[in-house]
Amino acid sequence: MDPGHAPSVYQGAANVIAAVMLLLEFGMLRQALIRDQIRLYAAQSALISVLAIVIAADRGLPDLYALAGLSAALKVVAVPLVVRRVTGRTGRDEAPGVAGSYTLGVANSVLASIALAAVGFFCFNALGIHSPVAPATALAIAGGMILVAFGLMIVRRDVASQAIGFFSLENAISLAALVVAAGLPLILETAFLFDLLVAVVVFGMLIRAHHTRAESLSTADLTRLRG
Amino acid sequence: MFAVILALVFVPLAAGIISLAVPARAAAAVTVVSGLASFGLVLALVPAAAHRTLAYVSYFRVDAISAIFMLATGFLYAIVAIYSAGYVAKETEGESPSGRRRYARRFYPLFNLFGWSMLVAPMMNSLALLWIAIEVTTVISALLVALENSDAAVEAAWKYVLIASAGLGLGLLATIFAYFAGAQVLGQHYDLALNTILGAGGRLAHTPVRFAFMLAVLGYGTKVGLFPVHTWLPDAHSEAPTPVSALLSGSLLAVSFYAILRYYQIATATLGTGFPRDVLLAFGVASLLLAALYLLDQRDIKRLLAYSSVEHMGILAIGVSFGAPIALAGVMLHVLAHAAAKGNAFMGAGVLVIKFGSKQIAAQRGAMDLLPWSGPLFLLAVLALSAMPPFGIFRSEFQIVAGGLGAHGYAPAAILVILVTVAFFGLTAATTGMLFRSRRAGAPVIAAAASGAPGGRPSPAGDGHTDGGGRPEAAGPARVSMLERAAPARAITRGEPSVWMVVPAVAGIAALLILGLHPPAELTQLISRAVTQLGGTT
């Protein structure tokens, strides 16, 4: 697409979806309760499926419809269920150690993440990667989202938020994959999703193990191994 | 040959499933058989892979480079499987029958699956499948690291799974950008096969390839243990059961390095050699420097060996950055020799930990007298790791340095030699005390280490875990395993814990001698083909 042109409906839709996903990432970073983080994650994952459908319709890639369905089943339903189950068993109402597990304080965390998002956005933009398939802005937003997801894993000091941070990192990479590598064969995409499911189960088992031993999801006491 | 490849995919997988269902002894036997069979199958692949690239059904591709990494994994899987039979029996000694069953039922299936995933990864033709296989190695090994279910083991496993998975997230991004680079030339639908993308090498766009290579070095480098993304490594290596530590260090790190080599191939085909070599040199020197300094002051034997792994991965990266054929041949040999030497060192360390009931170096004294076989074997393994002749690592590091000097990389070659010497001092200073210093001096420390933490809960830092320097032992492992709990300041008698833990170490030393003195002709041929594939030029 000629860069001087007004964006097509497809490009506009892709960019809007990417921007909303980035906002949801900030929501996860800021949200105190694990239940709400899981909801935001599910919403973000649903948007990935919507984007897959948009691209499938625009580019005529029928594989992506199947991918959208699979991805929704897994990331909107299965992963949130697993995480809720794991963290739900750890306390009656809210898992201990999650709320207020900021290293920096809410305002500073958000400010730092805005800076991160800006760095990611401009760096990915500076790569100058554009092709007929790839809306450059959506890719740049994915770049920002990747750094914010890393930021989330760094500023939150509890295992549940860190796990959510990793899963949303995977969402950010899926977004990048959809815009630059939409033609990736379905079998590989399916394998990625299956792999994610295995990772989620293992994360869940380790969260449980941590909670059983520490009686909290906080990582504040994970400081024994040094040097 | 396709049958051999299929057998390699199914044998360890089947062993994993079978060992889930059978009693502990049978599971140990199945694991040993699977390990030996897998090594035999890899050996059967070597002559063919030394002459041609084996590619089947578009998913499998074994060339000389893959065969070398599979050889390292296959060998280690076989000898560590034998070692595990002794280790699991000793580790669960004194537990209830149900506790022993539970440990074996978790250990053997995961161990076999871990071996399986590392054998399968280098056989994958597609970069996407390679990424998936490496992610599978992460999740399986994270469960193995947590197996002891102590506070420290869970902490190490959490750090490992989070840091390695986040790193592999960058690896996935690298995969996607590699796909994007290829899609510009090969069309929107292609399967990211190595054959295809290497064939299109010269025509790929530079920016995405450069970006993909950086992401791959950083992402897969997390699992290789390159500075500054190595932080999970010492924790996981020290808290995992010893057989798993051996596989992690000798094999898992190498398999991740294999992924970097594949991106290196693509990058050099597209960008020329300058940029990829500079990147590897920077990461390699930084890792080597960090490891050499940390090796000088370690109190935990398994952490000591873990930092030695960071050192050797740095050497591999520097060797590739030299680019001279002899340096690349050295790198390939180093992968094999490091697997054997580090496997041996960890197996020896495992015996020492069982013997003395502590991972603390200060608590292990007079091992040479107490362990008539494992003591000398451990000494040989440490000397081999320090690149002493006549072992394989001497030959490989000699080739790497010679290649560096030949390619006019005088400064990096000099830095390499200096830092390897520093690492040598660190390793030998720690281990000579363990092996030769008399037990009398160390006895009170053993008592403190054993009584400091009853009940398996970690003691607060500095509660008597002090060593000669008087520094609180916060750096040491707070985890106190069943072994350590069961070890009051008892009289330690002379003798080996288990013959199963000695035989594999003898095999490892034999392999190191063969690699150092006279590598077989097939292996030399395999290595020279791998060097050609890596584009060895000065």
Last residue of a domain, one of B96, B123, B150: B123
Residue B34's H or E segment, with its range, is helix B24-49
Geometric angle at alpha carbon B79, from B20 and B331, rounded to 5°: 120
Residues B309 and B230 in one domain: no
Would an 8 Å CB–CB cutoff place B486 in contact with chain A? no
Residues B183 and B248 in one domain: yes
Based on the fold, state whether residues B398 and B290 are members of the same structural domain.
yes
Domain boundary among the residues B215, B240, B272 is at B272
Q: What is the mean pLDDT of residues A161-185?
A: 88
> What is the structure's pLDDT at B342?
95
What are the chain A neighbours of B57 within 8 Å (beta carbons)? Answer: none
Distance CA B222, CA B313 (A): 11
Q: Both B229 and B339 in a single domain?
A: no
Predicted ipTM? Answer: 0.92
Amino acid symbol at B290: L
Nearest CB partner across the interface for A153, out of B151, B166, B183? B166
Q: Answer whether B136 touches A (CB < 8 Å).
A: yes
Yes or no: say if A15 and A7 are a contact pair by the CB < 8 Å rule.
Answer: yes
The per-residue pLDDT for range B296-332, each reduced to its tens digit, is 988 899 999 999 999 999 999 999 999 999 999 999 9
Cα gap B77→B40, rounded to integer Å: 11
In the three-class reduction of DSSP (H, G, I as helix; E, B as strand; rest coil), residue B420 is classed as helix
Which residues of chain B, if any, have pLDDT below 70? 439-490, 536-538
pLDDT of residue A190: 83
Residues B41 and B149 grouped into a single domain: no
- Taking the CA atoms of B314, B318, B319 and B321 in sequence, report the sign of the dihedral they define: positive
Residues 6+ apart with CB under 8 A from B252: B118, B137, B141, B223
Total number of domains constituting chain B: 3
Q: Are A181 and B212 in contact (CB under 8 A)?
A: no
List of chain A residues whose C-beta atoms are within 8 Å of the C-beta of residue B161: 199, 202-203, 206
Using DSSP's 3-state secondary structure scheme, residue B35 falls into helix
Residues B32 and B89 in one domain: yes
* Shared domain check, B498 and B359: yes
Integer Cα distance of A28 and B304 in angstroms = 39
Mean confidence (pLDDT) of chain A: 85
**Which residue spans within chain A are E strands per DSSP?**
none
More confident residue, A34 or B140: B140
Query: What does B421-489 look like in DSSP terms, one character per residue?
Result: HHHHHHHHHHHHHHHHS-HHHHHHHHHHHHHSSGGGSPPPTTSS-B-TT--BGGGS-----HHHHT--S
Identify whether the C-beta of residue B275 lies closer than 8 Å to the C-beta of residue B336.
no
Nearest of A160, A155, A177 to residue A29 by alpha carbon? A155
Domain extent at residue B109? 1-123
8 Å CB contact of B157 and A209: yes
Distance CA B242, CA A124 (A): 43
Tell me how close the Cα of B91 comes to any Cα of chain A, in angstroms.
Answer: 21
Model confidence pLDDT, tens digit, residues A65-84? 999 999 999 999 999 998 88
- Say whether A225 and B176 touch across the interface (CB within 8 A): no
* Chain-chain contact of B177 with A188 (C-beta, under 8 angstroms): no
Residue A132 contacts B where some CB pair is shorter than 8 Å: no
Residues in A 139-168 with any Cβ partner in B closer than 8 A: 146, 150, 153, 159, 162-163, 166
Q: For residues B215 and B357, state if they share a domain.
A: no
Residues B24 and B99: beta-carbon distance below 8 Å: no
**Residue reference for tokens 């991160």:** A116
Reply yes or no: is the peptide bond before residue B520 cis, omega within 30 of 0. no
**Closest C-alpha among A94, A121, A105, A136 to residue A3:** A136
| 8-state DSSP, A5 | S
DSSP B342-360: HHHHHHHHHHHHHHHT--B
In this structure, the answer to whether residues B444 and B309 fall within a common structural domain is yes
Q: Is B211 on the interface with A (CB under 8 A)?
A: yes
* C-alpha–C-alpha distance, residues B215 and B283, integer Å: 13
Residue carrying the six token digits 């039922």: B105
pLDDT band, very low/low/confident/very high, at A218 (cuts 50, 70, 90): confident
CB contact under 8 A, B128 and A192: yes
User: B141-151: buried (b, 16+ CB within 10 Å) or exposed (e) per residue?
Assistant: bbbbbbbbebb
Determine the longest span between alpha carbons in chain B, in angstroms.
72
Residue of A nearest to B479 (CA): A224
Of A128, A191, A225, the CB nearest to B207: A128
Q: Which of B126, B172, B295 to substitute to test the interface with A, most A CBs within 10 Å?
A: B172
- Rounded-to-integer distance, Cα B107 and Cα B91, Å: 11
Per-residue three-class SS string for B287-309: HHHHHHHHHCCCCEHHHHHHHHH
* Residues B395, B471 within the same domain: yes
Average pLDDT on A149-163 reads 90
Q: What pLDDT shows up at residue A131?
A: 67
Final residue in a domain of this structure, among B82, B101, B123: B123
Q: What percent of chain A has pLDDT over 90?
A: 36
Give the distance from residue A41's alpha carbon to the nearest chain B alpha carbon, in angstroms.
17
User: Which SS3 state, helix, strand or coil, does residue A226 take?
Assistant: coil
| Whole-angstrom distance, CA of residue B529 vs CA of residue B531 | 5
Percentage of chain A lying above the pLDDT 70 cut? 90
pLDDT band at A100 (very low <50, low <70, confident <90, very high): low
| Helix axes of B521-533 and B64-91: crossing angle, nearest 10 degrees | 120
**A192 phi and psi angles, rounded to 5 deg:** -60, -45
Pick from A134, A213, A225: which is nearest to B156 by CB? A225
Axis crossing angle, helix B2-21 with helix B97-120, rounded to the nearest 10:
160
Q: What is the rounded average pLDDT for all residues in chain B?
A: 87
**How many residues are recorded in chain B?**
538
Average pLDDT over residues A29-58: 90
